[in-house]
Amino acid sequence: MITRRLGTADVSAVGLGAMPLSIEDRPDRARAIATVHAALDAGITLIDTADSYHWHAGELGHNEELLAEALAARPGDGVLVATKGGRGRPGDGTWTVDGRPAHIRAACEGSLRRLRVPEIGLYQLHKPDPAVPWAESVGALRDLVDAGLVRAAGVSNVTCDQIREARDILGDSLVSVQNRFSPQHRDSLPELRLCDRLGIAFLPWSPLGGIARSALDGPGSAPPRTPFHEVAEERGTTPQQVCLAWHLAQSEHVIPIPGATRRESVRASAQATSLPLTQEELRRLDTFGS
C-alpha cells in the first residue's frame, strides 16, 4: 500500500468510507466488523465516518461505535479515523444541517466518547449551514484544535471561497477538504485544484459515481457502460479499480474513500494503488462526463 500525506500523518492512498456499514440496507454487525478488519489487513489506514451515519432515529453515532468496536479488537494498527459533525438524520431518510458552534462542540465531544479516544485525529465540518456565518462554524473547529480535542481539521461540501476563508482561520490545522467528486460528478474540480496548490488533502466522497452504484443512489439505478469498463477489460481488472486509479492520478493530494460492505470489495479497492494508468488511458477516461 502506498501512502499519501494528510496533515502531519502518512495514510494509505485509498481509504475506507464507512457510511454504508450503518445506513439503509447495512450489513449485520459481524459482517460490518469483518469488512473493517479486511480493510486493515489490506493496508488501509484512513477510515472516514460521521456522527450522522446511521439509519434509524435514536442511532446517533452508530457508525462511530461500530468502528470503535472493530478497532478495539485490532489495537496498534495506526489507523487515522476521520469523523464529521454538523449534520443530522431524523430517521426518515432526510438530512439536516447545524453549524452552530455550540452544536459542533457538543458533537465533537460525543464523537470522542463513541470512538473511545482522547483526541480525534481529523475532525471535519460536514456541511456549511446557511443559517450560521461560515467564519463562526470554522471558528468552532479552531476552538476544538486549541482545546486539544482535535489534532487536525477539515471541511466538507465547500466552495473555493469557503476553503480560502477556512484556511485563513485555521492555518495549517486545515488539512483536508471532502467534496463529492467522481467521473460523473466533476463540479468540484476547482476545489481539488485549489487543494493541490495549498497542499491540502482532497478526499472525494462517492468516488465511484457513474461507475458503480453509490450508497446514496436510489434503487434500480445502474451505471452506464463507460471507458472505465473498457480499460478494465483490457487490463483484466474492474471498473472500480480503474476509477480509483484515475482518482489517484489526478493529484498527489487526492485520497479517495470508497465505501464497502464486503471484505472482497475493500480488498479490491486497496489493490487500485498498484494499478498505474498510462497517459493514453487517462485521456480516454477523461472523455467520460466531459
Compute the CA torsion angle 150, 18, 114, 110 (nearest 10 deg): 60
The set of cell numbers assigned to 211 is 461507475
Tens digits of per-residue pLDDT, 199-214?
Answer: 999 999 999 998 865 4
Residue 47 in contact with residue 83, Cβ under 8 Å? no
The set of cell numbers assigned to 54 is 446511521
Select the more confidently predicted residue: 78 or 191. Answer: 191
Q: Please check the confidence at residue 3 and state whether its pLDDT lies above 70.
A: yes
Rounded Cα distance, 177 and 124, in Å:
8
Rounded Cα distance, 205 and 34, in Å:
22
Write down the pLDDT at residue 213.
58
Rounded Cα distance, 71 and 171, in Å:
31
Tens digits of per-residue pLDDT, 55-76?
Answer: 999 999 999 999 999 999 988 7
Tens digits of per-residue pLDDT, 22-45?
Answer: 999 999 999 999 999 999 999 999
In this prediction, what percent of the chain has a pLDDT beyond 70? 94
Contacts of 272 (CB under 8 A, 6+ apart): 14, 240, 241, 242, 243, 244, 245, 248
Write down the pLDDT at residue 216.
46
Write down the pLDDT at residue 215.
45
Q: Please check the confidence at residue 221 and state whether its pLDDT lies above 60.
A: no
Residue 128 in contact with residue 162, Cβ under 8 Å? yes
pTM above 0.75, yes or no: yes
Write down the pLDDT at residue 211.
83
Write down the pLDDT at residue 222.
58
- Which positions are annotated as active-site residues? 53
Tens digits of per-residue pLDDT, 222-260?
Answer: 566 899 999 999 999 999 999 999 999 999 999 999 999
Rounded Cα distance, 204 and 101, in Å:
25
Tens digits of per-residue pLDDT, 89-136?
Answer: 999 989 999 999 999 999 999 999 999 999 999 999 999 999 999 999
Question: What is the rounded average pLDDT of the residues 141-162?
Answer: 98
Write down the pLDDT at residue 210.
85
Average pLDDT over all residues of the chain: 94
Write down the pLDDT at residue 188.
97
Q: What's 122-142 look like in SS3?
A: EEEECCCCCCCCHHHHHHHHH
